[in-house]
Amino acid sequence: FQPKLLQGKSVLITAGPTFEPIDPVRGITNLSSGKMGFAIARAAREAGAQVTLIAGPTALPTPYGVSRLDVQSAQQMHEAVLAQVKAQDVFVAVAAVADWRVVGASEQKLKKDASGTPPQLRLEPNPDILATVAALADRPYCVGFAAESENLAQYGEAKRQRKNVPLLVGNIGHQTFGKDDNELILFEENGQTVLPRASKQQLARQLIAAIARRI
């Protein structure tokens, strides 16, 4: 009898984009599809973990056996994560969280004014969800993601240290959004490991196996 890699463990995952409202019908978002985070949720569940997936707006179906909470904005994602993070063994922050939100989003749809002057949007920073979790005294094993458009090898390790996490996963190439395959590089204190190009589901299984070996 071979026990599953994450049997008895709990894993919390964020995935997808966030949506920052401007008014009830408009907002700011990004091109994250949620595919990588959902694949990791599926792989963690296959490995025997109890999985909670906190998802921004995506059209993806919930992986079998995964408990899913849908949110829109970064602030909602932050609150949902803090409500779920206690007693988790692993936290994987895959979501492409919007860095800024609109100050004082309008309750009513903004109207075009007669002179054609566009509204002025003011932005303020969103909380860094991963950094918040990584700073908890009783923190789970924290895994971050990075989608850099250049110099990944340098920025990846710097970001791992800045985020204060044991493992930071870089997407090699920035054209990963929406695709079914990917290529990853794992940054850790004692070096880097490349997971060569494969489907996001295969890479998710390899990543879960790597995490299981480290906890």
SS3 36: helix
Q: Which bin fits 47, alpha (ψ -120 to 50), beta or left (φ > 0)?
A: alpha
Q: Is 128 annotated as a binding residue?
A: yes
Binding piece for ligand C5P, criterion CB under 6 A, among 21-29, 93-101, 109-117, 195-203: 93-101
The residues in 45-74 that bind ligand C5P, with binding defined as CB under 6 A, are 74
Residue from 30, 164, 171, 190 carrying the catalytic annotation: 30
Q: Which amino acid is at 83?
A: A
Q: Does 126 bind ligand C5P (CB under 6 A)?
A: yes
**H helices, E strands: number in the chain:** 5, 12
Size of the chain in residues: 215
Any catalytic annotation for residue 171?
no
Beta carbon of residue 137, minimum distance to ligand C5P (angstroms, whole number): 18
129 in a labelled binding site: yes
Report the C-alpha gap between 60 and 55 in whole angstroms: 10
Give which of 72, 68, 75, 92 is closest to 29, Cα–Cα: 72
181 annotated binding-site participant: no
Q: Least CB distance from residue 28 to ligand C5P, whole Å?
A: 13
188 forms part of the interface with ligand C5P (CB under 6 A): no
Angle at 16 between CA 198 and CA 45, to 5 degrees: 65
Question: Residue 130, interface with ligand C5P (CB under 6 A)?
Answer: yes
Alpha-carbon distance 210 to 193, whole Å?
10
* Interface with ligand C5P, residue 82, by CB under 6 A: no
- The answer to whether 34 contacts ligand C5P (rule: CB under 6 A) is no
Q: Which one of the spans 1-9, 20-28, 46-54, 87-95 is the region binding ligand C5P (CB under 6 A)?
A: 87-95
Contact (CB, 8 A) for 164 and 137: no
First vs last C-alpha separation in the chain: 21
38 known member of a binding site: no
Give the interface size with ligand C5P as a residue count (CB under 6 A): 13
Is 163 annotated to bind a ligand? Reply is yes
Q: Are strands 191-199 and 181-188 parallel, antiparallel or unpaired?
A: antiparallel
Number of alpha carbons in the 13 Å side-chain half-sphere of residue 121: 15
Say whether residue 129 binds ligand C5P (CB under 6 A). yes
* Residue from the set 95, 184, 204, 208 that interacts with ligand C5P by CB under 6 A: 95
Binding site residues for CTP, as ranges? 99, 109, 127-130, 145, 159, 163
Residues that bind ligand C5P (CB under 6 A): 14, 74, 93-95, 97, 126, 128-130, 144-146
